[in-house]
Structure 1
Amino acid sequence: MRSSHLCSVDMSQLCGPERAEAYTVAWIAALPHERAAGEAMFDEEYEDPPADFKKSRGDPNAYSWGKIGKHYVVVAALPSGEYGLTSTATVAQGLHSSLPHVRIGLLVGIGAGVREVVDEEDKTVGQRDIRLGDVVVSHPEGTIGGVVQCDLVKAKTVGGSEVLERKGSLNSPPLALRTALTKLQATHIRRGTTIPTIIAEAFERYPNMRSDFCHPGLGGTEVDRRTDTYHSRAGITISNEARISPKIHYGTVASSNTLKKSARHRDAVLARLAKENIKPMCFEMEAAGLMNNFPCLVIRGTCDYGDEHKNDDWQNYAAITAAGLAKEFLQCVDVEEVEETQEIGKLILQSLGTLHQEVEQNREDVSHLTMSADAHRRRHVLDWLCPYDYLTQFENHSARHLRGTGQWFLEDSTFLSWVQADQSSTLICPGGPGCGKTTISALVIDHLRNASSSQKPVIYFFFDYQRRKEQTAHAFVATLLRQLASLSQEVFSAVEKLHKRSISHSRRPSVEDLQSELQSAFQTVTECFVVIDAWDECEPLKRVECANMLRGCLSQCVVHLLATTRDDHEVHALFDGDPTLRIQAHVEDLTLYTAKRAAELAPNIRCDVGLVENVIKGVIDASDGVFLLARLHMNSINDQLTANEVKDTLNGLRKDTGSYSSAYEATMERINQQQKRRSDLGKRILAWVVHAKRPLRFEELNHALATRPGKRSIESGDMYAKEVILSVCAGLVTLNMDTLRLIHYTAQEFFSDTWIQWLPNETAAIVDTCITYLSFDVFKEGPCRDRDSHKSRLNQYKLLNYAAKNWGHHLSDQESLAETERTTTDTVLSFLEDASLTCGCSQAMDKRYEGIQEDQEDMYGVYTGNKAMGIRDISGFHEGMYGVHLTASFGLEHLTMLLIEKQQDADIQDSYGRTPLWWAATNGNAGLVKTLLDTRGVDPNNREPIGRPMTDGRFRLGIGQTPLSKAAENGHKAVVKMLIANHEVDVNAADACGRTPLSYAAKKGHAAIVQILLDTKVVRIDEDKNRFGRTPLMYAAEGGHEEVVKVLLATGMDNINSRDLLGRTPLMFAAKDGHEAVVKTLLATKNIDARMKGYRGRTAYDLALLYQKRGSLISRRSTPELDNEQRKRKQHSSEGENKQTSKKQKLSTDDGT
C-alpha cells in the first residue's frame, strides 16, 4: 500500500523535468477511457509540459506528462473519435515532430480475445482460457514480431490454386522492451501479477474511477457476478466465474482497421491467418499503424470476444488491467537500455534512408531542418495574427457530441440544399437555450471537413457570452483569416507581409486591414464553408459589424455561411429572408443520451429494467426538447442511491416540466445536502465562477480556494484536485480549455436573479480572499526589479494578476449591495497603508508585463507602439504607488477620501507623478472626480511628468497628460463634462508631443466628446497642431472616424488642407489607410485639394495605390477627384508616349532617305 504521506500529495502540482528530451517513453491510447486508465498509473503527474516543449503544427496528439518508476512517460492520445491504423500512424508522426527524443513506446488499451485456435480449414483445434479482463501482450514468435496486420497479404496462383502471400512483415519491439518482457514473464511465474494492487492504488488516488473501472463481475447481486459469457463456435454458451486477478497471455496480436463484431467475420480472418501458421490471441485496431514507424509493445485488456455479443460493459475494466500490466512492465525496463535505444526521430529518418540513396537522405535531412524552421516561423506569424486557440475550442465542443445524435440535421433537405448550392448561400439555425446549438455547429464542422476537399476549406467562430470583451470585430476577422492562412501558402504569404509591415510601423493592423486580407484570402479558393456559432452571444454593436464583414466576402467566392442563434429579433433582422432550419433535440437524440447516462445509475437500480425505462421516458418528457435540461435531470437522478429515491426524483420532474429554474434549484438543493465541508466548498466555487470579472483558469481558482483569512503564504498541499472541484458543484461548473465556467449561460442568468438566496455570504469572501492573497509575506518585498523575477512571481502565484486587477471591482460591487455582509474597512485599510504591498499590487496590474514571453516581444511592440519600453528592465516603475491611487483607480470614493484624510494630501503623487484625480478621471469614476474637484488642494491640471531621469539613474516615463486629456482619450463623457465645468481646467492643455484633449478624442473616435470640447468655444481648432504638425482632423481621418470628421468639418475650420511635417494632409491619411467613407466626406467639402503633393511628391491617390492591396483600393466611383487625377496622368503619359513614337518614326524616315 502507498504511504499516507503520498496519499496527501496532489500529484498534478509536482514539477516535471524542464527539457522534453527527458521523456523517453511514449504511452499511446486511442480511446478516452484508455487514456484515463493510463494517466491513473502515474506515480507523479505534471500539469505543465516541459519548458522547452513546442507542439509542432499539424501534430493532432493530446499529451499528458508524468513519471512511472524511474521513467518519464508522456501519454499520447488520439484525437477524439479517431481510431484505427491510419490514426495511430498519425500519432507516430506527431511524436516524431514534437517529441523526437522518445525512445520506446507502449500501445495500451482494449482488444477482443481469441479463445479458440482455428486451423486453415476453419476447424477448432484448441482452446485458450482467455477471459474478459485478462491481458494479452504482443510477443515475437518466429518471423512474426508480435503484431500481424490482417490484410497485409496478396493473392498468388501456384499450381492452379490461389495462395495468400504476406507482403513483408511488421517490426519487432526494440531490444530494451524484449529484454524487459522476458524479465516480466519470469517474475509472473515466480510471484504472479501485481495488477490488482496497482489498480487499488489508482482507485485510492482517484476514487471517482472506482465505480466505472471496477471489475464488472465482482459486485452487486449474484446475477451480476456471472457476466463473463462466451458463445463458442460449436454453439455452446460458456459462463465463467469472475477471475479476481487477470491472467497474462503472451502471443501474437492481430491488427486491422475493421472492428470485429461478428463471429463469422472473426473466424474467416482466423482461418486465413492459420494458412500462414499465424494463431493470434487478440484482435485490435491500432498496432499495425505504429510498428514500422515506431516499434512498440502492444498490451491489450480483453473486453469482448469479437462476436455479435460485443458490449461496453468490460471496456473500462479491460483498459485499467492493461494499464496496470503496462506499469508493472515498466518496472522491469532498464533505464540505461532505454537510453541506448534509438530515438523515434532518428528511427523514422533511418527508415527513409532505406528508400533513398545517401544523397537523397542528406537532402531529406536538410529539408527537415528547413521545414522545422519554417514551421516555427509560420506559428510565430499566425500567433501574432490571432493568439486565440480556436482549434482546442472546437475539439472541446466536438468531444461533447454523442455519436449517433444530430443525424437528422445532416440529413435535412434544407441543410443539404445549403451545402450543395452552386452560389453563395446562408442558413440561419435558431433554437432555444440549451437545445444543443453549439454541439450541432461542431457536428457540422466535422461533417463538412470529412466531406470537403482542400479547395473547400471549413472555417468557424464560436461566440461566447463569457468572452464578449475579447471577441471584438478585430478578433473575429483575425480568427477566420488565421484558419485560411494555416490552410493556404498563398494566404499565409500575404499575412506574413502584413506582419512585416505592421512590425516595421510599430502598430497592429486595423480591422480594415484584416478585412481586406480576408477578402483577398477568399479569392484564393473556389468555395468555402463558414460556421458561426451563437451569434446572439456577440455584443449587439459587434453583430452588425461582423455580419457586414462577412457579407463583403460573399462576392469573392462561393461562401456558404451557417449561423446558429437563440431566438433574437436583432439577429434575425441581420439575415432577413435567408433560409432557416430550427435546432431542437429530437426524441431519438434524447433517447440515446438518457440511455447512455442511465448506465451510470447505481448497480441495484440499473438491474430494474422497468425503472430504467421510466427514467428514460420521464427525463425525455421533462426535458421538452432541451438537451441541457436532460443533462441536469440525469445529474440529479444519477445522484440517487435507491430505487425509491429515483422514483421520487422522477415525480418531482413531472411537476416542473421544462423549467430551467426548477432544475437549477434542484441542483442547488443537492449541493446543500452534501457534507457541510463539501457544500461550503461548492458554494465558494460557484460564487467565484458567477461573480468573476473574467473566466478563471483552474489554477487561479485553486489558489483562491486555498487562501483563507489569516494565511501568509500558499503551498501545493493546499490545492484541490480537479475532480473534487467539479464534483462538489454537482455538474453546474465545467472545465473547458483549462477555464472554469458555468454549465450554460442560462445558469448565469439564474444566479444573477437568485444569488442572494443561494450564495448570500460568499461575495464578501471574494474580497477577503483577494486582500489576503495580496498581503502574503512574499509581496511585502515590494515590486520586482526585472522582468524575469516578475514573470517568476506571476507563474508561482497564479491568482496575483486577477486579485490585483479586480479586488476593487469586487469591493465596489459589494458596497452597492446593502443587503450583503461588508468586508471590514480595517482589513482593506491595513493592506492599502502598506506601501510595499500596494507597489507590488500595482506592478501585477500593469498590462506592460502581463504574460510577455521571449518570443512575443515583437508582438508586444506592436501592441504598445514601443518595443523597447519596459521589456528588459522594469525597475522603478512602481515605487510610490500608494493605496490612495489604487482606490481612486477603482472609484472607491469612501476609501479614497478616508486615505486622503489620513495622509492630509489630496494631490499626493505616485511614482509617475499621477494624482488620485488623474486616476479617477482615467478610469471614468465620475462620482469620485466630482468629490475630488470639490476638495481643497486638488489641482485639476496636474499632469503626469514628462520622462526624466530619477535619482538612482533609472528613467521615469510619462508624456504629460492631464486628467482631462485621459478622460477624453478613454471616452468618459460624464467626467469630461465635470472637468470642463471647472473654470480652472485648461481645455487646450497639451502633452509633451503637443496633443490636446481634442486630439486624443479625435484619435480615438469619440465624436460626442469632440462635440463637448468644441462647445466650450475655447478650443482653438485652427491652431491645434502637435509638434509634428498633426491636427485633430488628421487623427480622425487616419483612424477612419467618419462621425468625428463630420463634427470637425461642421465648425467651418480653415485648415482642411493643412500639412504635417511630412507634407501629408487629412485626405492623404484617409486614402493611405483605405477609409473610403472619410475620403468621400472630405472630397465633398468645399476647398478640398485632392492634387496636393506630400512627401516625395505623392498625392492622396499615390498613397492609396502604395499602401492598399487588391480589392481594397479606393473605389474610383466614390472618389471622382482622385479618378480625374489618374485620368490626367494617363493622358499626360499617353501624350509623352505619342511624342516619343512620333520622334522615332521621324528618325526612321530620315534614315531611309
Structure 2
Amino acid sequence: MVDPLSIIGLLGTAATLTKTVLDYACAVKNAPKEVDNLSRELTSLHGVFDLLVDVVEDEDNKQDFAEISTLYNAAGVYIFTENEGILVVLTQQTQDLVITLESLRMKLDEFSTAKGLRKAYDRMKWPIDRPDTQKVLQIIQRYTQMFQFALTIKGSKALSQVSGKATEMLSASKKLAQTQSEILSAIASIPEHQKIMDELKKLHLNVKDDRHASEDQEFFRVLSSLEFSAKQKEAYSKRHSTTGKWLLDTQNFKDWSGQENDQSAVLWCPGNPGVGKTVLTSIAVNYVSEIARDSSTAIIYLYCDYANPLTHSVKALMGSMIRQLVEQTPHTETVAQIKQLYEQNSKSRDLTADELFKGICTVSKDFDLVYAFFDALDECPEISRNLLLPWLQRYSENNARVFLTSRPNVDVKFSIPGAVRIDIAASAADITAYLESEIQKNARLSRFTARDPDLKSTIVKGIVDKADGMFLIASLQIDSLCKQTSPKQIKTLLSTLPADVFATYDNAFHRIQDQPREDADLGMKVLSLMFGATRPLGVEELRHALAVEPAATGLDTEALTDLEIILGVTAGLITTFKLKIGRSRECLFVRFVHNTLQEYLEINQAQIFPNVQRLIAETCLTYLSYDKIGSDEPSPSDVPNSRAEFLPFAEYAVRNWGVHLRRVQQELMRQALAFIQDRKKILTWIEMYGAHFCLLVDLSSDDHSSIGVHVAAFWGLTDLLTVLITPENIESRNIHGQTPLFHAANEGYDDVLKLLIGRKANVNARDARSGRTALCKAVERGHHTIIITLLEHGADINTQTSSGTTPLHRVAGKKLDTVRLLLERGARVDIVSGKHGTALHEAARIGTGALVRILLDHGTPLDMPDTLGSTPLHLAAERASDSEETLLALLRGGARLDSRDRMGRTPLHLAVDANHRGDQVKVLLQEEQRRRSDELSLRQSRSIDLPNHGPTSSSHSDSSIIQTGTSVNAQDSRGRTPLHYAYYRVSRGSYLQVDSIQGDDKVRARETVGLLLKSGASDSIVDVVGKIPSQYANLSVEDARRWKQDYSFGVSFKSAAGRLKNNQAEDIQNLSRCIDLR
C-alpha cells in the first residue's frame, strides 16, 4: 500500500520543480513556438499538482482510487495487476516526472550560471535545442493528460461508487449464472455499467479525437478552399414549391437519377442565359439528396462562377471534388491514403491533374454511387472546359452520374458523345409562381392588386410573355414595376418593357439615370466600381470605396452608405452573396445579378463607364494615403489584418492600385508620385501586401528612391519610372538581390524593359538567391517578347544558375513554343546541370513526347546520365501513364534499354516498380523484342549467326527471341530483376499506401508478373539475400522495410541534393552521409 504522505511529498516536489522551469520559460525573450507551448503545458501541470495534493490528503479518497482502478482495467484504459491501485501508478509516474523536471532544471541552472544571466531573466535565451524541447513538451503533455484524467475520475465520486457496486453485482452474477444467456441478462440488469465503461473510454480518447478532428479540418482546407454549400443554399432558396418539377418529371432525368440506370451516366442540361439553370441545379441536388440518404451514396456539387477565378481552374475544381468525397467517406483508411498522397508531394510540387483524378476515383470506390453536379460550365474559360470534360467522361465510366449545365454553345457532346440532353427553359408555371410571390412581398404591388385583382393577372401574363422562358428578364422587369407609384404607371411601363435581355439592361440603366441626381450618381458609381474591380468586392469594401472623397486625408464614417440604399438605387442589377474567408469567417459580397450584365458592360463600356480605371485608381490612392494608415512605422510585430478591421478597402487597394494606375498614369501622375515617395506609407503598403511582397524591396534600405523604382517597375508604371530612375538606383537590389529589370521580365512589361535597357540596365545581372538572370524569369513565365528583347540586347541564352540550370532547362518540361524559340536563338542542348541532367531529362521528367522529339532533333545527348545515373529513359519509365508518348519518343530516338542508374536499375526495373496504370512495361518489352527481332533479321540477311545466349535457332518465333534479351532478366546492385520488383509490388501496396491511390495496385502488379513471365523472365534468379522473385509475393512488414532500406540511397541522395544551397559545407556533409560508398 502506498503511503499518501509519500505521494504528497512527491507531488509537492514536482510542483516546485514545475514552477522553477515555468519561471525560466516565461522569462525567455522572443521565445520560439515550442517554448511558448511548453510554458502553457507547465502552467496547466502546476495547477493539476495543486489539485492532486488536495485530493490525496483526503483519507476518504484512498478507497475511491482503489475502486476506480478496477474500472480502468475493465475499460482497457490502463492495465494494473490485482494488487496495484491508481496511487501506485500515480507515485511511479510522479517519480519519473520529477526526474525529468530535475534534469531540465539542472540544464537551465547550468546555462544561467555560465552566462551570468540569473539576475537578468528578461535577457535569457532558451538553452535547449528544438528537438529536445519538443521531446520534453511531449513528455509534459503526456503526464498532464494522465493526471487530469485521474482528477476527472475522482471528480465523479458517485460514478466510482456505482462502479464498485456494479463490479460486485457483476461478480455475483457470474457465480450464479449457469448459461451465457443468464450472464448477459445479469449484465443487462445493471444498465449503468456499460454507460460507465463508455464514458471512461470517451474521456480517455477525448483529447485525441479533438486533435484528429482539428487535423482533418485543416487537411480539408489543404485539399481545396472552394466551398459550395452556401451557393447551394442560396440558389435553392430562390425556388418556389413547384419550381423545377417539370425537370424532375422528365423521363431522361428519372432514368439518370434512378438507382438502376442502364442509360447514359451523363445528363447535360443546356439553356440560354438567365433561364434559371443554377436554381434548377440546386433543385436536382436537393432531390437526389432526398432519395439517396444512406452512406453508400455520395453527392458532390460545383458551381462555376465568372467572378470567382478559382472555379476556372481544373485542378481547383478537382481538389473540391476530392474534398467533398473525403468529407463523406466512412473509411478512415481512405482519408489517410489521400493525406499521404498530398503530404508526399506538397513539399516539392503541386499534384498533376492525372494524380488528382486518380485520387477522386480512389475515394469514389468507397461508395456504390456518386452523383456529381457541375453548374455553369460556360462560365469556365474554354481551355479549362476542354480539359475538364474528358475527365468527366472518364469519371462517368466508373460509378459516377454526372449532371452538367451550360449555355447551348458549349459542345459537351464532342467530349461526351453519350450524354443525354434536356434543354432548359423556365416554364411558364415556374415564372408565374415566382412573379406571384414577388407581388405578394412588395407592399405597393400587393396593395394595388388587392384593389384590382385583374391587375395581378395583367402583370403576370405581360411579364411571362416578354420573358420568353428567362427568369432573369422576369426578375428585372418585376423589379422595375415595384418602383412605380400608381396602377396607371404600372400598366404604362408594362406595355413598353423589352423582351431582350440587353434591351432590359438598357431599360434598367435608363431607370437608374432617371432617379434624383444623388441616387443616380450613387447607382452609377456602385456599378462602375463593381465592373472595374479585379475581383468581387465585399459589402464593407464597397461602402468604404463609395465613401472616399478626393484629396481627403481620412475616412469620414458618416459618409458610409447603407447596403439597403445601395441595392435600392441600382435597379435590381446587383445582388449579395456570402463567401467564406479564411478558416471560419463569412463575409457578404456584392455581384451582378447575372454574368450577362458583365458582357453587356464590356460591350458598352466606352459609353457607360469611360473613366472607370481612373475612378478606381484614384479611390485606391486616396484611401492608401489616409493619415491613419501610415501613422506608424511598420514593424514585424504589427498584424496587417488589424488595419483591415477599420479600413476594409485597404486589402483590395494595396493589391490592385498599380493595376488600375498603369492605365491612367499621366492623369494621376502628381497623386501617384506623392504616394510612392512617401516612405512611411509605401512601406506600410508593402508590409500589408504580405510576406511575399515584403521581399519586393529591401525594407532596411535608407535609399527611398530605390524603393520607389522597384515598386514602379513591379507594377509596370513606365511614366513614374521615367521620373524616378537615376544611374544610382537602376541597379539597386531588393532583398533577393534582384534589380528592377527582373520585375519587368517577370511581369512581361515590354515598355518598362525597354526603358531600363535604354538607361543601361545590366541584362545579365544575377539575383543573389539562385543566380538567375532576367532571361530565366522571362523564360519561366513564357514572355516571348521579353525574351527576344533581352536576347537582342546581349542576354546570355546559355547562362547557368547556381544549380547549373540554363533557361532551356527551366522550360524544357513545360512550354513547347518557348523551347522552340530558345533553340532557334541558339540555346545549347548538351549542358548538364547536376541533379537536373540535360534539358532532355527535364522534358522526360515532366514534358511531352513532342518536346522530346524537338530536343532530339536538335542533337540532345540521348543516354547521358544525371547525378543519380538516370538517363531520360529512366525518368520517363517511372512517370505516370501520360508518359507513354514520351517513352515512345525516346525509344524511337534510339535510347538504350540496358542503361543503368547508380543502383544498377534499368528503365524496365523502374517501370515495373512504378506500377502505373499505363503500358510502360509493355512498351519497353515490346521495344526490346522489336530490336532483337530486327537484329536477328539483319544478321540472317548477312548470313551471320547470332551470339550464343543459350540454345536457340533461327526458326524460333519472335516471342522466343525476347527470352534471350538482357533487360527482362537484368539484375540491379542487389541482384534483383524486374520480376523481383513485380512480386514485391504485389505485396507492398499495403505498406506504401500512396501507391494504392493509383488504382488497384495488386491487380496491376499481378498483371505485370504475368507479362514478365510470358516475356521470358526467370523465377530462379537469386538476389543478395538469397530470395528468388516469387518469394517476395508475401512479405512481412519487416521484409518490406528492409527492401526500402536497400534502395534508400536513391531517395536520400535526391532529398539531400535538393537541399543543397549555395554550396554550403554543412549541406555537402549531409549529402555525403547519404551516399552508400559500398
* Cα offset, 1:766, TM superposition: 0.8
Residues 395 and 601 (structure 1 numbering): CA distance in 2 closer, same or farther, change over 3 Å? same
2:355 aligned residue: 513
* Cα offset, 1:768, TM superposition: 0.6
| Structure 1: distance between partners of 2:191 and 2:661 | 67
1:1094 aligned residue: 901
Residues 849 and 411 (structure 1 numbering): CA distance in 2 closer, same or farther, change over 3 Å? farther
* Cα offset, 1:380, TM superposition: 1.3
2:432 aligned residue: 591
- Asked if 2 retains the 8 angstrom alpha-carbon contact of 1:1079 and 1:1119, the reply is no
Q: Give the match's secondary structure for 1:731.
A: coil
2:875 aligned residue: 1069
Residues 1069 and 677 (structure 1 numbering): CA distance in 2 closer, same or farther, change over 3 Å? farther
2:478 aligned residue: 634
1:427 aligned residue: 267
Residues 1065 and 678 (structure 1 numbering): CA distance in 2 closer, same or farther, change over 3 Å? farther
1:394 aligned residue: 232
Amino acid at match of 1:463: C
Structure-to-structure mapping, 1:82-161, within 5 angstroms:
none
| Structure 2: distance between partners of 1:1085 and 1:920 | 41
Amino acid at match of 2:541: E
Q: Give the match's secondary structure for 2:800.
A: coil
1:621 aligned residue: 465
The answer to whether structure 1 residue 1134 and structure 2 residue 1019 are counterparts is yes
- Asked if 2 retains the 8 angstrom alpha-carbon contact of 1:431 and 1:583, the reply is yes
1:995 aligned residue: 805
Residues 1102 and 734 (structure 1 numbering): CA distance in 2 closer, same or farther, change over 3 Å? farther
* Cα offset, 1:566, TM superposition: 0.4
The answer to whether structure 1 residue 885 and structure 2 residue 710 are counterparts is yes
2:384 aligns with one of 516, 538, 542: 542
* Cα offset, 1:756, TM superposition: 3.4
Q: Give the match's secondary structure for 1:1134.
A: coil
1:763-811 CA-partner distances (Å, limit 9, x unpaired): 4221111111222224546873326523434555433332223222223
1:835 aligned residue: 679
The answer to whether structure 1 residue 965 and structure 2 residue 768 are counterparts is no
| Structure 2: distance between partners of 1:611 and 1:439 | 28
1:112-170 CA-partner distances (Å, limit 9, x unpaired): xxxxxxxxxxxxxxxxxxxxxxxxxxxxxxxxxxxxxxxxxxxxxxxxxxxxxxxxxxx
2:552 aligned residue: 711
| Structure 1: distance between partners of 2:790 and 2:783 | 11
- Asked if 1 retains the 8 angstrom alpha-carbon contact of 2:877 and 2:887, the reply is no
The answer to whether structure 1 residue 1030 and structure 2 residue 837 are counterparts is yes
* Cα offset, 1:1115, TM superposition: 6.3
1:556-603 CA-partner distances (Å, limit 9, x unpaired): x23222211102154443334532110000111011001101111415
The answer to whether structure 1 residue 499 and structure 2 residue 338 are counterparts is no
Structure-to-structure mapping, 1:662-701, within 5 angstroms:
662-701=503-542
User: Percent sequence identity over matched residues?
Assistant: 26
2:315 aligns with one of 470, 474, 489: 474
1:1021 aligned residue: 829
Structure 2 residue runs without a partner (length 5+): 1-158, 160-189, 579-587, 930-961, 971-976, 980-1015, 1032-1078
The answer to whether structure 1 residue 457 and structure 2 residue 298 are counterparts is yes
* Cα offset, 1:433, TM superposition: 0.5
The answer to whether structure 1 residue 566 and structure 2 residue 407 are counterparts is yes
Residues 374 and 1045 (structure 1 numbering): CA distance in 2 closer, same or farther, change over 3 Å? same
1:82-106 CA-partner distances (Å, limit 9, x unpaired): xxxxxxxxxxxxxxxxxxxxxxxxx
Residues 878 and 925 (structure 1 numbering): CA distance in 2 closer, same or farther, change over 3 Å? farther
Q: Give the match's secondary structure for 1:730.
A: coil
| Structure 2: distance between partners of 1:787 and 1:1049 | 54
Q: Give the match's secondary structure for 1:550.
A: helix
Q: Give the match's secondary structure for 1:889.
A: helix
1:316-342 CA-partner distances (Å, limit 9, x unpaired): xxxxxxxxxxxxxxxxxxxxxxxxxxx
| Structure 1: distance between partners of 2:454 and 2:295 | 50
Structure having the higher strand fraction is 1
Q: Give the match's secondary structure for 2:247.
A: helix
- Asked if 2 retains the 8 angstrom alpha-carbon contact of 1:1040 and 1:1078, the reply is no
2:851 aligned residue: 1044
1:940 aligned residue: 763
Residues 1070 and 601 (structure 1 numbering): CA distance in 2 closer, same or farther, change over 3 Å? farther
| Structure 2: distance between partners of 1:840 and 1:1065 | 50
The answer to whether structure 1 residue 659 and structure 2 residue 500 are counterparts is yes
| Structure 2: distance between partners of 1:368 and 1:595 | 53
| Structure 2: distance between partners of 1:824 and 1:1031 | 49
Residues 1030 and 493 (structure 1 numbering): CA distance in 2 closer, same or farther, change over 3 Å? same
2:122 aligned residue: none
Residues 1119 and 494 (structure 1 numbering): CA distance in 2 closer, same or farther, change over 3 Å? farther
* Cα offset, 1:715, TM superposition: 6.5
Q: Give the match's secondary structure for 2:420.
A: coil
| Structure 2: distance between partners of 1:417 and 1:747 | 36
Q: Give the match's secondary structure for 1:764.
A: helix
| Structure 2: distance between partners of 1:839 and 1:437 | 47
Q: Give the match's secondary structure for 2:272.
A: coil
Structure-to-structure mapping, 1:878-917, within 5 angstroms:
882-900=707-725, 906-917=730-741
Given the two structures, how large is their TM-score scaled by the length of structure 1?
0.60
- Asked if 1 retains the 8 angstrom alpha-carbon contact of 2:849 and 2:886, the reply is no
Amino acid at match of 1:580: R
1:723 aligned residue: 564
| Structure 2: distance between partners of 1:1090 and 1:772 | 67
| Structure 2: distance between partners of 1:736 and 1:720 | 18
2:276 aligns with one of 409, 413, 436: 436
Residues 919 and 1136 (structure 1 numbering): CA distance in 2 closer, same or farther, change over 3 Å? closer
- Asked if 2 retains the 8 angstrom alpha-carbon contact of 1:843 and 1:878, the reply is no
Residues 928 and 457 (structure 1 numbering): CA distance in 2 closer, same or farther, change over 3 Å? same
2:751 aligned residue: 927
- Asked if 1 retains the 8 angstrom alpha-carbon contact of 2:304 and 2:312, the reply is yes
| Structure 1: distance between partners of 2:504 and 2:323 | 40
1:929-959 CA-partner distances (Å, limit 9, x unpaired): 23433x1322222232x1xxxxxxxxxxx32
Amino acid at match of 1:914: Q
| Structure 2: distance between partners of 1:448 and 1:511 | 28
| Structure 2: distance between partners of 1:355 and 1:403 | 50
| Structure 2: distance between partners of 1:1046 and 1:495 | 35
1:108 aligned residue: none
* Cα offset, 1:745, TM superposition: 0.8
| Structure 2: distance between partners of 1:1099 and 1:798 | 60
| Structure 1: distance between partners of 2:742 and 2:607 | 39
Q: Give the match's secondary structure for 1:990.
A: coil
Say which structure, 1 or 2, has more relative contact order (CA 8 Å, 6+ apart): 1
Amino acid at match of 1:618: G
CA-atom RMSD, angstroms?
3.3
* Cα offset, 1:643, TM superposition: 1.0
Residues 1080 and 1072 (structure 1 numbering): CA distance in 2 closer, same or farther, change over 3 Å? closer
Residues 1122 and 1105 (structure 1 numbering): CA distance in 2 closer, same or farther, change over 3 Å? farther
Q: Give the match's secondary structure for 1:887.
A: helix
Structure having the higher helix fraction is 2
1:526 aligns with one of 368, 375, 381: 368
- Asked if 2 retains the 8 angstrom alpha-carbon contact of 1:1046 and 1:1081, the reply is no
| Structure 2: distance between partners of 1:551 and 1:1067 | 31
- Asked if 2 retains the 8 angstrom alpha-carbon contact of 1:531 and 1:563, the reply is yes
| Structure 2: distance between partners of 1:1113 and 1:376 | 41
- Asked if 2 retains the 8 angstrom alpha-carbon contact of 1:696 and 1:740, the reply is yes
Q: Give the match's secondary structure for 1:532.
A: strand
2:421 aligned residue: 580
- Asked if 2 retains the 8 angstrom alpha-carbon contact of 1:437 and 1:583, the reply is yes
Given the two structures, how large is their TM-score scaled by the length of structure 2?
0.64
* Cα offset, 1:985, TM superposition: 1.5
Q: Give the match's secondary structure for 1:695.
A: coil
Amino acid at match of 2:887: K
1:583-624 CA-partner distances (Å, limit 9, x unpaired): 000111011001101111415413121111111111111111
1:610 aligned residue: 454
